[in-house]
Structure 1
Amino acid sequence: MIQRSKLALLTFVHFLTDFYSSLLTPILPALVAKLNLSLTHAGILAGLPSMTSSLVQPLMGILGDRMEKRYFIIVGPLFAAVFMAAIGMSPTFGLLIVCIILGGFGTASFHPQSVSMAGDVSGSRRGFGVALFIGGGTAGLAVSPMLVTQYVEYFSLEQMIWLAVPGIAAVLLLSRAIPIRNTGRRITRLQEIKESFRPNLRPMIVLTVVVIIRTLSGVGFGTYLALLMKDRGFTLQEGGVVLMVYQVGAVAGGFVGGWVSDRIGRARVIWSSILLSTPFLLGSLYETGAMMYGLLFFGGFMNMASNSVSIAFAQEMVPDNAGTASSFPMGFSWGIAGAGIMLFGGIADRIGVMPTLEILSVIPIAGGLLALALPNRIEFPPVSLAKQTMETQKV
């Protein structure tokens, strides 16, 4: 039987955790102005969340599987709430980096154990429970840009620390309401993992590279889009609305892409959606008003339509170690893309924000063409996405 109250609480904490994880990008223009940072510095800050939360996430998943108790479900959201809410009051670039790294650790440690527990408390309706849980996270990602920019404009960057209060309260409630014993504890030998990857190693490598390219474009575009809006005279709040439209498109793309891939195949959705993202992203840079918002919505939609599809595809390639396989398109690829976003900060310093966004808009072409090498079906039983949605982190 589904434990509704516990599932609802887990979903709410996931909403808050992903809300905190996406606080940085919308207020990046304000942080640049406050600390007098260069675009190179801005690129480093923008890439850090992906690097810290995504590269560490596979390790947290393996460690979490071996733990007798799910301590990360409590520690993760607490770190995300406190340290990401503290970025506004950081007086130096160095302290800002420390807060982002520790906040990213919180996000990375929370997700593996929490999604497992969401399935446990859902009983026979595991598909529904996990979909609801992931939907809570995507909602947090979508509303964060608008809410945090409004908050900062009404109060200040320094007052952002009070945003941690709901997260702390939710963690205290969660610690009292949810049993943290890990009933699904499993220890897998490294050699077994290696053998499970062997049959489909080549397509897994191709898929990982494709996701790196797509994520570099999508997350990088959102990052420097916020700075472009500032250059065009948008207020912080108006820039937050622009980012929200882009992120809502990405969330919608994750839902629709998964549903379509169940019907026409994973690879077709991956290469077609990635290729189609370029005209929308590039076109949005030259339009204003409603047309700009529409192009941004569909640019985000197409860029991230393959997100949940890539995760399911990886699970189909390595069905015996689906969790580890998922960490490549969910974690490792996003981390490598984060490093690429840092490099683009230096590029933006040299050529400007607009040319940098133009480059990020056309990068998906390389990923889409490479994705043509993917098999449309894997011989193993497919992982259905009809009742699943995307986990993002992180347009």
Structure 2
Amino acid sequence: MAQAGLLNSVVGIIHIFLQPLLGYVSDRTARSYLVMIGPILTCLGATFLPSSPTYGMALFLVGLWGVGSATFHPQGHGGVGHVVPQEKLTVSLAIFSVAGNIGVTISPLFAVALAKIVGVEKIPYIAIVPVLILAIAIYRYMPVLSEEAAEFPKNQGGLFHSLFSVLGVIYPVWMVSMARDATSQGIRFFLPIRIVSEGGNISMVGTILFLIMLCSTIAMLISGKLSDRWGKVRVLIFVLIAGPICMIPAAYIGGKTSIILYILGTSLLNSSMPITAAVAQEQVPHSRGMASSIVMGLSWGVANLLTGPLGKLGDVFGITSTMLVVAALPLLALPMVFMKSFRSAE
């Protein structure tokens, strides 16, 4: 269990330290190299992992997987802001996130199908083909994400200067993102424990987690469209309040009603992902990659590390108290929405 936990932690740590670096790099080139290289590295790490002969090799492959993901996302999210009109940024980021969720959902089915057809050992050589085709297509048809490369600031200092200058502008957005991600990951981590403790089985857990992902995907599309029509801040305030309103009572009740409330509340919170990403990019339009790395990668990685202290809280006070704290976290970040970064987003 400890070794499996370390493998899971590796990806979060990589995102914390590597995404800001690669966000910095992506802001200094208009070329699409990172969105081409990232999926290739991710595919190699993920597909060679099942046949890894040793734990050390498995650790390396998980690291490669994490590096690929961290390479792709800053330029991927930032690139959306360069290729779509400003008034359609939120819904476009929602579509981008939905595509990722669909990939996560069908990838296990794809892997099982390949294993049955060609065997586990040959999966990497087959799975890499569509990824390479995609990379070639990007190189051929979208070699440059923005024609504004010549206008990108070149004298903003180094990595840390860029990181802290961007963070100084968008830190309210980052805090909202971190609270949301901590709640989302906390629900996905602790809800299965509660379900099993109440007599549920692994099949029930899998079904509920799938429903959370499915409903979150649909909610992102809805919130993206509503945000571009009615305003990002209004929609964000609604989901930050409505999500906890659903989940706080769910901590005290059981049965199907509790599960429905958790699915609804988590989906509402997750629907804010394209909103916070859009607000962050709008505040620092010449550092879209760095902004995306902070409110997506850095916030996700820090939230991942918070599951440890929350687990300790559960050991001391019980699962109900832990679920209550997890559900209430977005309310603690709600005052951030009224700060300058969000006011100027309207």
TM-score, normalised by the number of residues in structure 2: 0.74
2:201 aligns with 234
Unaligned runs of 5+ in 2: none
- Aligned mates of 2:333, 2:94 — CA distance in 1: 30
Tell me, yes or no, if structure 1 residue 62 matches structure 2 residue 43: no
Q: What whole-Å deviation, never above 9, does each CA across 1:196-239 have from its counterpart, x for those lacking one?
A: 9879947x32332232122112123213444555664524x553
Selected match of 2:138 from 169, 175, 178: 178
AA partner of residue 101 (structure 1): G
- Aligned mates of 2:174, 2:80 — CA distance in 1: 27
1:314 aligns with 280
SS of alignment partner, residue 281 of structure 2: helix
- Aligned mates of 1:276, 1:92 — CA distance in 2: 46
Number of aligned residue pairs: 334
AA partner of residue 65 (structure 2): G
Q: What whole-Å deviation, never above 9, does each CA across 1:303-349 have from its counterpart, x for those lacking one?
A: 2122211122223333443443333212221121122234445666x
Q: Kindly tell me: are residues 376 and 334 of structure 1, through their superposed partners in 2, closer, same or farther at Cα, counting changes over 3 Å?
A: same
- Aligned mates of 2:182, 2:306 — CA distance in 1: 6
Q: Kindly tell me: are residues 162 and 50 of structure 1, through their superposed partners in 2, closer, same or farther at Cα, counting changes over 3 Å?
A: farther
Selected match of 2:325 from 341, 351, 362: 362
Indicate conservation of the 8 Å contact 1:275/1:364, yes or no. Answer: no
- Aligned mates of 1:187, 1:382 — CA distance in 2: 22
Map 1:131-142; keep pairs closer than 5 Å: 132-142=95-105
1:169 is displaced (CA, Å) by 1.2
- Aligned mates of 1:229, 1:176 — CA distance in 2: 45
- Aligned mates of 2:245, 2:311 — CA distance in 1: 23
Q: Kindly tell me: are residues 161 and 211 of structure 1, through their superposed partners in 2, closer, same or farther at Cα, counting changes over 3 Å?
A: farther
Q: Kindly tell me: are residues 262 and 78 of structure 1, through their superposed partners in 2, closer, same or farther at Cα, counting changes over 3 Å?
A: closer
- Aligned mates of 1:119, 1:274 — CA distance in 2: 24
SS of alignment partner, residue 23 of structure 2: helix
1:73 aligns with 35
SS of alignment partner, residue 259 of structure 1: helix
Selected match of 2:214 from 248, 261, 271: 248
1:298 is displaced (CA, Å) by 0.5
Map 1:167-316; keep pairs closer than 5 Å: 167-179=127-139, 181-182=143-144, 184=146, 185=149, 186=152, 188-191=154-157, 201=168, 204-226=170-192, 232=199, 234-235=201-202, 238-262=204-228, 265-281=231-247, 286-289=253-256, 291=257, 293-316=259-282
AA partner of residue 332 (structure 2): L
Indicate conservation of the 8 Å contact 1:46/1:223, yes or no. Answer: no
Q: What whole-Å deviation, never above 9, does each CA across 1:271-314 have from its counterpart, x for those lacking one?
A: 4423432354455565445x455333202212212221112222
Tell me, yes or no, if structure 1 residue 337 matches structure 2 residue 303: yes
AA partner of residue 210 (structure 2): M
TM-score, normalised by the number of residues in structure 1: 0.66
